[in-house]
Amino acid sequence: MPKLDRTSSSSGNLFEQKSEVVHYKGMSAEELGKVFAYLNSVSFNYPIGFPPRMDKTTGSSRKL
């Protein structure tokens, strides 16, 4: 497994904004939510607007 390239990403602070932030700077909270939902659907491979449901039948901690 290749090593993680730590130079491709860095943390910013309040006074230095990274170049990736520029695209989202003027967006409202609703628009940011739509972008977040789209990126989640792409990264986890499900249709937008239909996220997978959690299977609640497994992992029960109740005693029978």
Give the predicted TM-score (pTM) of the model.
0.56
Q: Write a three-state SS string for 17-49.
A: CCHHHHHHCCCCHHHHHHHHHHHHHHHCCCCCC
Q: Which pLDDT tens digit goes with each residue over 5-54? A: 667 666 666 567 677 777 888 889 999 999 999 989 998 899 988 888 88
- Residues 46, 52 contacting (CB under 8 angstroms): yes
Tokens of 27: 């967006």
Q: Which pLDDT tens digit goes with each residue over 41-50? A: 998 899 988 8
